[in-house]
C-alpha cells in the first residue's frame, strides 16, 4: 500500500476499526475523538502499542524505528494518521 497515495480519512477509518476490534473488544459505543490520547483514555497500554506498531507495519508496509516510538507519533488517531502518511510519503523520523 505504500506505493499509492493514502487519503487521511482512509487511514483514520481503518485505524479506528482496528482500535475498536482489538482494544475495545468490538464495543464501538466507547467513543473516542481523533485527538484523544490512547494512553490517557485507557484505550491502549504498552503492550497494545506493540500491537499497534505491528498493525501499522503490516498494513502500510512501513517500518517504525525505535526513535519514532514517541507519543507524538502513536498516541491518538490524528497522530498516527500524520505519522503513517509522512512515512508513506518517504519522510524520515518524526523526531524534531
> Residue 94 above 60 pLDDT?
no
Read off the pLDDT of residues 16-36 as tens digits, 9 standing for 90 and up: 999 989 998 767 666 789 999
62 vs 67: CA distance, rounded Å = 14
CB atoms within 10 A of CB 14: 18
Read off the pLDDT of residues 36-58 as tens digits, 9 standing for 90 and up: 999 999 999 989 999 999 999 99
pLDDT of amino acid 1: 44
Burial code (b: 16+ CB inside 10 Å, e: under 16) for 20-32 equals beebbeeeeeeeb
Q: Which of 9, 88, 14 is nearest to 52 (CA)?
A: 14
Query: Considering the entire predicted model, what is its pTM?
Result: 0.82
Amino acid at each position: 500500500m505504500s506505493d499509492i497515495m493514502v487519503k487521511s480519512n482512509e487511514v483514520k477509518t481503518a485505524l479506528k476499526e482496528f482500535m475498536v476490534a482489538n482494544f475495545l473488544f468490538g464495543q464501538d459505543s466507547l467513543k473516542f475523538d481523533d485527538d484523544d490520547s490512547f494512553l490517557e483514555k485507557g484505550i491502549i497500554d504498552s503492550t497494545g502499542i506493540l500491537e499497534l506498531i505491528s498493525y501499522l507495519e503490516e498494513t502500510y508496509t512501513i517500518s517504525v524505528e525505535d526513535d519514532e516510538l514517541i507519543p507524538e507519533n502513536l498516541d491518538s488517531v490524528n497522530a498516527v494518521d500524520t505519522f503513517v502518511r509522512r512515512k508513506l510519503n518517504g519522510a524520515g523520523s518524526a523526531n524534531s
